[in-house]
Structure 1
Amino acid sequence: MTEMLRLSDSTLHHLASNVKQPGYDRSPARIGIVHLGIGAFHRAHQAVYTDSVLASGDNRWGILGVSLRSGDTKEAIEPQDGLYTVASRDGGGDSFRVIGSVAKVLVAPENPESVLAAMADPGVRIVSLTVTEKGYCYSPATASLDESHADIVHDLAEPAAPRSAIGFIVEALARRRANGTAPFTLLSCDNLPSNGETLKRVVTRFAELRDAGLGRYIGESIAFPSTMVDRIVPATTDADRATTARATGLFDAWPIMTEPFTQWVVEDHFPSGRPAWEKFGATFVDNVDAFELMKLRLLNGSHSTLAYLGYLAGHETVSDVMKAEGFSAFIETMMDEEITSTLPPLPGFDLNAYKAQLRERFRNPALRHRTWQIAMDGSQKLPQRLLNTIRQRLEQKKPFDRLALGVAGWMRYATGVDENGKPIDVRDPFADQFKQRTTGKTSDDLMNAYLGLDQIFGKDLPGNQEFRQTVGHALEKLLEDGAARTVAGMTS
């Protein structure tokens, strides 16, 4: 049997006829965007919109992707000339598209100087980020820079060889300022409330710690538009690679599996110019906060709740969880009765239709989104996905039992032992602290252990008796009855 050809510029003509190709000459494309954190989400989302811009004839917006930790993405797509396949999957079948917007990938730890040189290039007008919540080196409870973070300490000491996204951004801006080069726009595409403002806060503070004048310059001169990004992107498996190869006729070392749905709402503030993403489905608005809050609380908050409780109940994927007794009704009630009242008005937007669409997306049987994957880095996600919603319910003097069960599910999951006594591979920046703190077995022991982490819970919630009692009761139920029975009991 002959070895299958690998996806690349020279093999595109071998693609199956039903696979959409870039359809444009990639060679004249100039690098206009440097993207920090070139993982699966970026390649399923912003890079797809940008591919359409390039195909329309505007070749100023090629993407240089930067991996801040691992070289896996570069190793996978560099031999493919940066090409990769996006497979959109639902119950009706799969569709495949090859994306050509990523011109080059660099691995920051291998050569920090090459990344800084690329970011300082005058042709680069946007630096975008999908580095996940933990990549901002901030305290999740306060959304302010964690000045004791090991990478921040390092980058302040060695600014020319940074490790963090924040360190790279500030050093590149310092070089552009020294060279008289116009600054780039900083575009956060991570799941953070007011993500542009959060990025501005941590970047400006880091710059101030380096040099007061640099901090003032960044605070006054750099644009930080906020965004809302939405597309569910599970981790790629070997089975996905095999499926993609059979369907397209070419081997792709790292295809992206995703859903047909995609949404991008962007604050329109780009002093140095931007691609015409709106021609291909992006929505530009004056203020994105209401959209971002809606998505964080309804989609991400529900997703995390399903992940923790579903994993504990023995379900591998979100679609499996949604089929299990009580979970769909539980999430619907949580959305309608506990989350919706905390959202600002969006005139003309059909919120009920959006919620119904979310639940249908969660049920997508073709999208095997693992509960374990969603459960990662819970300490960084919990404040904006669940805790801030609870704070607002407390202010409203309204119940939050289902939200509390989501928080309790995270507490139970983070102990590292499932309901059958088997170990859980907890991936979290606080994982070592969880192990040290959660030596007790009762709900009170665990509550006291977790609520001592003010980086997560702040200083307000641990002292709030209603919060302690409601979450403590939910945790006690989980410890006594397990996740499946607890959820079923709340919907019967």
Structure 2
Amino acid sequence: MQFTTFSITEKGYSLRDSKDQLTPLALEDMQGRSKPKTNMGAITYLLYARFKAGKFPIAMVSTDNFSENGLKLQEAILTIAKAWVENEIVEQDFYDYLINPKKVSFPWSMIDRITPNPSEKVAELLTADGFEDTEILHSQKHTNIAPFGNTEEVHYLVIEDAFPNGRPALEKAGVILTDRETVNDADQMKVTACLNPLHTALAIFGSLLDYHSIWEEVANPDLLALIKNLGYGEALPVVKNPKIINPTEFIDQLLTKRLPNKNIPDTPQRIAADTSQKIPVRYGVTIGHYIANPRFSVKELEFIPLVIAAWCRYLIGINDELESFSPSPDPLLEELQAFVAEVKLDGSQKEIHEILKPILSNHQIFPHEMYQTGLAEKIETYFEEMIQGKGAVLATLQNALKKHGKNY
């Protein structure tokens, strides 16, 4: 065996809860190795078996869609292994084996392929083509499980070329092999500039404007103009080019081929989940680049503040037609909704600053001082425009595009 890959979602690597405390299952695994309760405990146990069989080298390749995935896998494995050594369950030599990159490596990767929940529409098409098993199971966590997947043709897989036991010619299958820094640059390009920020903008405005598919959203010229100005206008100028993927061409492909794909049943509601956790990376990194680079002024930004204002408006749970909707799951939803619970949508609301300040001053969501940058005032202004009654969200978007938008 040369390597093993993982696709278990980011939560599958976690040994800690929301308060950064080790979970009871993790603590149980750290006390013994024979009956692991966590994914990481089981993997550490298998690595120990490989170690005992001959200290054979192996690459442990995470292909889950989050930044620095190899590091998170490595840290989790080492956390358990260190506890085993301290508890005299295994020998120190095992830990030394794990931290020797010539024996065990944890390559970083960047993966990009839009893969929404299995769709009833796709199931119907497969049934018509003669597939017998297309039943979709619906879990209590509102995810769909099926014997098929629906995904797009376009895909990227970039992996750090660190395989101590060799590897097959993965590049022949379209995998890009490179160094760790380049993997991280490609990931940052996608997550902070060229895909994820645009996705979140569509998710927020799509929910407010009562859209239920991404492809329908990008058919709306106003929403398409929004993400063009967000991507080409505000993110591209400050993102680092990873060289292996051209950022401009990446956005070109996203806007012309990927997002308009009617066969990818993706929804703004799916993407809107956990937005409070996504803002620091999807918008905070670009804001940080504008603050740090003397060639730019953070006060030039218009569409990032517009999206954040729309998110604050989204938290109210009433769309642009003044109809109630259920915001997507978010660990901070209840806390954040309390700040906007009494907001009036008839244009009579005062004290916008007092309402939004607790949200915009939350460093967990906004790592930069939003009031010192001047962006908070823009967000408050846009938010006030969006609560002027029915249709105010769309009107605010159109006015912003008219005043600040460019034709890309």
Q: TM-score range by the shorter chain?
A: 0.7 to 0.9
Q: Would the alpha carbon gap of residues 201 and 445 (structure 1) be closer, same or farther in structure 2, given more than 3 Å must change?
A: farther
Question: How many angstroms apart in 2 are the aligned matches of 1:307 and 1:339?
Answer: 18
Q: Which amino acid aligns with 1:372?
A: Q
Q: Per-residue displacement from partner, 1:184-234 (whole Å, max 9, x unpaired)? A: 433232333333334444554565566566776644444221212111122
Q: Aligned residue for 2:378? A: 470
Contact 1:156/1:210 (8 A) holds in 2: no
Question: How many angstroms apart in 2 are the aligned matches of 1:169 and 1:461?
Answer: 41
1:444 counterpart = 2:353 = yes
State the 1:245 CA deviation: 1.1
Question: How many angstroms apart in 2 are the aligned matches of 1:166 and 1:432?
Answer: 31
Q: Aligned residue for 1:479? A: 387
Q: Per-residue displacement from partner, 1:433-490 (whole Å, max 9, x unpaired)? A: 33555545364355334346544334x4456442432333333333346432222222
Q: Would the alpha carbon gap of residues 235 and 176 (structure 1) be closer, same or farther in structure 2, given more than 3 Å must change?
A: same
Question: How many angstroms apart in 2 are the aligned matches of 1:445 and 1:166?
Answer: 45
1:363 counterpart = 2:271 = no
1:380 to 268, 277, 291: 277
Q: Aligned residue for 1:80? A: none
* Farther off after superposition, 387-396 or 202-211: 202-211
2:290 to 380, 393, 397: 393
Q: Which runs of 5+ in 2 are unaligned?
A: 87-91, 136-145, 344-350, 403-408
1:306 to 202, 225, 229: 202
Q: TM-score, normalised by structure 1?
A: 0.64
- What SS does structure 2 have at the residue aligned with 1:228? strand
> Of the two structures, which has the highest relative contact order with CA contacts closer than 8 Å and spacing of 6 or more?
1
Residues 52-451 of structure 1 aligned to structure 2 (within 5 Å): 125-132=3-10, 134-137=11-14, 148-149=19-20, 152-159=23-30, 164-173=38-47, 176-177=50-51, 181-182=55-56, 184-201=58-75, 203-204=77-78, 208=82, 218-221=98-101, 222-253=104-135, 254=146, 255-286=148-179, 287-296=182-191, 297-347=193-243, 349-360=245-256, 361-396=258-293, 397-398=297-298, 399-419=300-320, 420-435=322-337, 438-439=340-341, 441=343, 443-451=352-360
What percent of counterpart residues are identical? 23
- What SS does structure 1 have at the residue aligned with 2:195? helix
Q: Aligned residue for 1:25? A: none
Contact 1:151/1:164 (8 A) holds in 2: no
State the 1:131 CA deviation: 0.5
Question: How many angstroms apart in 1 are the aligned matches of 2:371 and 2:78?
Answer: 32
Question: How many angstroms apart in 1 are the aligned matches of 2:98 and 2:275?
Answer: 31
Q: Would the alpha carbon gap of residues 158 and 349 (structure 1) be closer, same or farther in structure 2, given more than 3 Å must change?
A: closer
Structure ranking higher in strand proportion: 1
- What SS does structure 2 have at the residue aligned with 1:365? coil
Q: Which amino acid aligns with 1:322?
A: V
Contact 2:60/2:106 (8 A) holds in 1: yes
Q: Would the alpha carbon gap of residues 402 and 185 (structure 1) be closer, same or farther in structure 2, given more than 3 Å must change?
A: same
Q: Aligned residue for 1:53? A: none
Q: Per-residue displacement from partner, 1:9-44 (whole Å, max 9, x unpaired)? A: xxxxxxxxxxxxxxxxxxxxxxxxxxxxxxxxxxxx
Q: Would the alpha carbon gap of residues 405 and 205 (structure 1) be closer, same or farther in structure 2, given more than 3 Å must change?
A: farther
Contact 1:313/1:484 (8 A) holds in 2: yes
Question: How many angstroms apart in 1 are the aligned matches of 2:51 and 2:218?
Answer: 52
Question: How many angstroms apart in 1 are the aligned matches of 2:20 and 2:227?
Answer: 36
Q: Which amino acid aligns with 1:188?
A: S
Contact 2:59/2:106 (8 A) holds in 1: yes
Q: Which amino acid aligns with 1:433?
A: E
Q: Per-residue displacement from partner, 1:105-138 (whole Å, max 9, x unpaired)? A: xxxxxxxxxxxxxxxxxx5831413404x55549
Q: Which runs of 5+ in 1 are unaligned?
A: 1-122, 139-144
Question: How many angstroms apart in 1 are the aligned matches of 2:275 and 2:72?
Answer: 19
Q: Would the alpha carbon gap of residues 440 and 271 (structure 1) be closer, same or farther in structure 2, given more than 3 Å must change?
A: farther
Question: How many angstroms apart in 2 are the aligned matches of 1:322 and 1:465?
Answer: 31
Q: Would the alpha carbon gap of residues 173 and 311 (structure 1) be closer, same or farther in structure 2, given more than 3 Å must change?
A: same
RMSD: 3.3
Q: Would the alpha carbon gap of residues 462 and 332 (structure 1) be closer, same or farther in structure 2, given more than 3 Å must change?
A: closer
State the 1:167 CA deviation: 4.6
